[in-house]
Amino acid sequence: MSQIKLNISQSRGYEAYQLTQSKAYRNLFVTLKLRLKLRYQEMDQWRQQIKATQENIETLEGEKAQLLKDNNKIFNCNSLFTLKKELSTHYATLRELENLVAGTEENIKVLECGMFDMVQLGDNHLSTHQKIQLLGGGVDKAREIIKTLMEMEKLSSIEEVRFIDLVMHHTEYQWNKQRAEWWIDCEIWEMPVFQACMEEMIRRTHDYEEQTGRCLMTEVLEEHAKENGKKLVPLQTEHGVVMTFEEDIQSKYERHGKVMKLKSGGSVTIHKKTNGF
């Protein structure tokens, strides 16, 4: 861990040529990060206002219904007029807030897409130290991530850590201000880079599956199976089709022809994988 600390502090991010080379990128990144933070804060504020307005409308509608009921159609016209006027004002406010939210949501999607692309490009412009600085989180957390990746042999040097890995492993989170012991509990605007990348990854995964008709997770599992000399096969069960590794099937269940007898007494039908699957 001490060696990781030393390497980060001595990364090429401190060299003058690297600082100059990445200056434009860093300025754009910070601008985009601050815009996202502002938009997330606005969304949080407006949604709270929408909730409060809806609660006020519910209260006024209840008062209106009670007024009509209690007086049995003989009521104070002034009271009814006042209630209707207040309701009209609150409904107008609600529509305005909902329009603001809808417009801001579209703007946020554009900003999130831009941030995700910026993070992907960051590996070409930034040192590891600069990535950590831009996220504004804790160096200790970054060291933990890098140490784990090196132990998994995903990295051969400190400088190979991907920007997206630092982002998705919550380097951005202010760990020194952690409010809960076992999980991250903060508003989304406190981690705008993480939030943007997560949302954009979900959208792109959905779009990919819509366009190809293929499940991205299935492709990941197939690649993993291939790398480990296994085969991914579909199994038809009473709960639907599930995917598993062929070697896992042989180790966990007893075979009998084309029907797999489970140790629990149930059974599933084995379907051979075809090239078209």
256, 262 Cβ separation under 8 angstroms? no
- Tell me the per-residue pLDDT of 120-130, one tens digit each, with 9 for 90 and over: 998 888 888 88
Q: What are the tokens at 190?
A: 């406190």
- Tell me the per-residue pLDDT of 17-28, one tens digit each, with 9 for 90 and over: 556 667 888 889
- Tell me the per-residue pLDDT of 121-161, one tens digit each, with 9 for 90 and over: 988 888 888 888 888 866 777 888 888 888 877 777 777 88
**pLDDT recorded at residue 1:** 44
50 pLDDT tier (thresholds 50, 70, 90): very high
- Tell me the per-residue pLDDT of 80-112, one tens digit each, with 9 for 90 and over: 788 889 999 999 999 999 999 999 999 999 999
Nearest C-alpha neighbor of 166 from the set 147, 180, 146, 183: 146
Looking at the whole model, is its pTM more than 0.85? no
* Mean of per-residue pLDDT scores for the chain: 75
Percent of the chain with pLDDT over 70: 62
State yes or no: pLDDT of 180 exceeds 50: yes
**pLDDT recorded at residue 164:** 92
Average pLDDT over residues 250-274: 46
State yes or no: pLDDT of 274 exceeds 50: no
253, 262 Cβ separation under 8 angstroms? yes
Element (H, E) at 16: helix 16-21
33, 111 Cβ separation under 8 angstroms? no
219 pLDDT tier (thresholds 50, 70, 90): low
Residue 13 makes CB contacts below 8 A (sequence gap 6+) with 19, 126, 127, 128, 129, 130, 133
